[in-house]
C-alpha cells in the first residue's frame, strides 16, 4: 500500500486545532487518542501526530506552534490534494 508523508507547521494551540479539526477532516471518520489521530476511509488510513505545543517568538509576539506529521496510506495524489484543499480552507485565518 502506497504511503505519503506530510509535515506541517501550524501556528495553533492543541485546543484550537481540535475545535476546527472535525470540519477539516471533511467527513472522514476518525479516532483521537491524546495527540494521535487516526482517520479511516474504507481501506485507507490517515495517521496524524501532533507535537508538543511550543511557541515561536516573532519580535515582541509569542505565537503558538504545533508541528503536524501526517501519513496517508492508500490515498492517491488527487485524493490527498482534495483533502488539503478542505483542510487549508478550514484552518485558514484572516488577519485584520
Is residue 61 included in any domain, yes or no?
yes
Domain count, the chain: 1
Q: Does residue 96 surpass a pLDDT of 70? A: no
Helices 14-24 and 77-91: angle between axes, nearest 10 degrees: 130
Q: Does residue 88 surpass a pLDDT of 90? A: yes
Helix, coil or strand: residue 6:
strand
Q: What is the pTM of this model?
A: 0.90
**Mean pLDDT score, 6-33:** 95
Q: Kindly give the pairing relationship between strand 44-50 and strand 61-73.
A: antiparallel
Is residue 26 included in any domain, yes or no?
yes
Is residue 96 included in any domain, yes or no?
no
The CATH number of the domain holding residue 44 is 3.30.1370.80
Confidence of residue 76 (pLDDT cuts 50, 70, 90): very high
H/E element, 40: strand 36-41
Helix, coil or strand: residue 14:
helix
Is residue 70 included in any domain, yes or no?
yes
Q: Does residue 28 surpass a pLDDT of 90? A: yes
DSSP code per residue over 53-87: PEEEEETTEEEEEEEEEEEEES--HHHHHHHHHHH
pLDDT of residue 1: 83
pLDDT of residue 94: 53
Separation between Cα atoms, residue 37 and residue 45, nearest integer Å: 10
Q: Does residue 59 surpass a pLDDT of 90? A: no
Which residues constitute the domain of residue 7? 3-91
In this structure, what C-alpha cell is assigned to residue 55?
511557541
Amino acid at each position: 500500500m502506497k504511503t505519503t508523508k506530510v509535515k506541517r507547521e501550524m501556528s495553533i494551540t492543541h485546543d484550537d486545532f481540535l475545535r476546527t479539526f472535525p470540519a477539516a477532516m471533511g467527513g472522514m471518520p476518525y479516532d483521537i487518542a491524546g495527540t494521535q489521530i487516526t482517520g479511516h476511509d474504507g481501506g485507507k488510513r490517515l495517521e496524524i501526530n501532533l507535537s508538543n505545543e511550543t511557541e515561536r517568538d516573532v519580535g515582541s509576539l509569542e505565537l503558538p506552534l504545533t508541528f503536524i506529521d501526517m501519513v496517508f496510506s492508500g490515498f492517491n495524489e488527487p485524493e490527498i490534494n482534495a483533502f488539503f484543499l478542505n483542510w487549508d480552507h478550514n484552518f485558514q485565518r484572516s488577519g485584520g
